[in-house]
């Protein structure tokens, strides 16, 4: 929050990710205590600073907030709850990028829930929630093709 306060008036566009609604998942998978609370407070502050996303006549974003939500297998991300939070606190005119591109990589085999791709039914359920809540702005992906199409072609070892 201290960093966001310093950025007030300097940043035009915020593009935060909201990865987990469940605090325990934030601890397990990202070693981040209090993940949901911290993220909610941060997104509220970002929205206060820049408001909803404003797109000019050329289709380029000039200012505002766009929230990225990567749907994880087994509902680890709690994306439906995140969407409810955004709808209730910020409104359904907030731009959402609802991503289906999760791909198990690196050490995901150590965490069985993350060791598989997202299935189309899991993603479709979240898209239905997005629509039922009345979100109007943003992007969704094709859950069948996106896991491979959006994965970067990187060939290096860590």
Tokens for 43, please give them.
């997104």
pLDDT at 145 (0 to 100): 63
Written as six digits, the tokens of 53 are 């996303």
The token pair at 57 is: 């006549």
The pLDDT value given to residue 143:
73
pTM value is: 0.89
| pLDDT one-digit tens code per residue, 55-78 | 999 999 999 999 999 999 999 999
Which residues, 6 or more positions from 135, have their beta carbon under 8 angstroms from its beta carbon? 83, 87, 92, 94, 96
Domain ranges of the chain: 2-147
pLDDT at residue 151 in the model: 58
CATH fit for domain 2-147, picks 3.40.50.300, 3.40.640.10, 3.80.30.10, 3.40.50.12280: 3.80.30.10
Give every residue of the chain whose pLDDT is below 70, as ranges.
Answer: 145-158
Other Cβ atoms closer than 10 A to 110: 8
Cβ neighbours of 88 (radius 10 Å):
10
């Amino acid at each position: 929050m201290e960093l966001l306060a310093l950025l007030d008036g300097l940043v035009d566009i915020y593009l935060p990710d909201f990865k987990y609604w469940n605090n325990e998942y934030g601890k397990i998978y990202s070693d981040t205590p209090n993940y949901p609370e911290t993220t909610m407070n941060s997104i509220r502050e970002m929205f206060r600073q820049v408001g909803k996303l404003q797109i000019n006549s050329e289709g380029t974003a000039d200012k505002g907030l766009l929230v990225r939500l990567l749907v994880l297998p087994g509902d680890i991300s709690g994306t439906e709850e995140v969407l409810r939070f955004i709808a209730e606190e910020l409104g359904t005119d907030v731009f959402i990028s609802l991503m289906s591109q999760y791909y198990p990589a690196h050490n995901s085999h150590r965490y069985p829930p993350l060791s598989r791709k997202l299935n189309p039914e899991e993603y479709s359920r979240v898209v239905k929630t997005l629509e039922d809540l009345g979100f109007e702005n943003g992007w969704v992906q094709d859950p069948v093709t996106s896991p491979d199409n959006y994965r970067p072609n990187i060939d290096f070892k860590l």
